[in-house]
Amino acid sequence: MEQSALFATSRLTVTQMEAADDCDFSQPTCDYTNTTDPTTYYIADIESFTVMIDHAIYATNINVQRNARELNGQIVDINGNVMEANDLPNRVGVPGEYDILEIGTLLKAAGVDTLDADGKTFVKK
């Protein structure tokens, strides 16, 4: 977890491993051996996955406390432009509802054009 960051898995590699016979699981130095070849899976259309954003503010000096369902918010892109983001499933600043955004909408707000560049990195606009 870190401020201003989102981690979403788009590729997963699974390997089955076995602990050495003399391994004591209370010790962090156990040796493991791969028992199968790694298998890689890709998560299709990650941009269409949604995240619910629950947030709150508390200003002690003026005695104000609000949560996501009480705030009239909006999504602003990396250039400070207000984005329209209330076409389902995206919902931002709707009274009584949590903010729900597609990962693709968050990427667009961050200025990320694609996750597919050279198969390794994203391209920023």
In this predicted model, what pLDDT tens digit does every residue of 84-95 receive, in sequence order?
A: 877 888 888 888
Using DSSP, state whether 19 is helix, strand or coil. strand
| CB atoms near residue 48 (< 10 Å) | 11
Establish if 6 belongs to a structural domain.
Answer: no
Establish if 31 belongs to a structural domain.
Answer: yes
CA-atom Rg of the chain in angstroms: 21
Establish if 3 belongs to a structural domain.
Answer: no
Read off φ and ψ for residue 82, nearest 5 degrees: -70, 130
Establish if 21 belongs to a structural domain.
Answer: yes
**Domain that residue 63 falls in:** 11-124
User: Are 103 and 48 spatial neighbours (Cβ–Cβ below 8 Å)?
Assistant: yes
Helices (H) and strands (E) in the chain, counts: 1, 12
**pTM score, whole prediction:** 0.66
Question: What pLDDT is attached to residue 124?
Answer: 53
Question: What pLDDT is attached to residue 118?
Answer: 56
Establish if 5 belongs to a structural domain.
Answer: no
* Total number of domains in the chain: 1
- pLDDT at residue 27 tops 80: no
Averaged pLDDT for residues 42-69: 87
